[in-house]
Amino acid sequence: MTLILGLTILSIVIIGYVSINSILRAGQSAQVVSNDVLQQQAEDFLLQVTADNAAAAASEFEDLRLDTDHIAQFIANVYSNRDDFASQTFWRAEDSLFEGPDGQYING
């Protein structure tokens, strides 16, 4: 009877140890897997944010390039046609602007 009781207790202890050990290993495995998944999600998110920011910056730079091209064309046109701007028929600042009491210019 003591032998059966001893074997039963030994079986319960062994099964308990194996069960607890399996649960701990499953928990550690789940922790590793979830850590890898979270790290991959963070990397994907950062890559997406970086790509979106780069696309927005590229768009802004393209707009800036187009504006610069327009300004360069305008300036080239002005310098190519200097005679059109050399006439005395244009408004002269000296005739219409006066210096105010605080040093500011006043339209007269």
Number of domains in the chain: 1
Write the Ramachandran bin of 103: left for phi over 0, alpha for psi from -120 to 50, otherwise beta.
left
Angle, CA 10 vertex, CA 6 and CA 12 arms, to 5°:
120
pLDDT mean over 58-68: 97
> Per residue in 4-25, pLDDT tens?
888 888 889 889 889 899 899 9
Q: Residue 22 domain-assigned?
A: yes
The pLDDT score that the predictor gives to residue 76 is 93
Q: Residue 9 domain-assigned?
A: yes
Dihedral angle, C-alpha 87, 93, 94, 95, nearest 10 °: 80
- Which element (helix H / strand E) includes 89? none
Q: Residue 95 domain-assigned?
A: no
Residue 18 sits in which domain range? 1-27
Q: Is the pTM of this model over 0.75?
A: no
Q: Residue 53 domain-assigned?
A: no
Q: Residue 18 domain-assigned?
A: yes
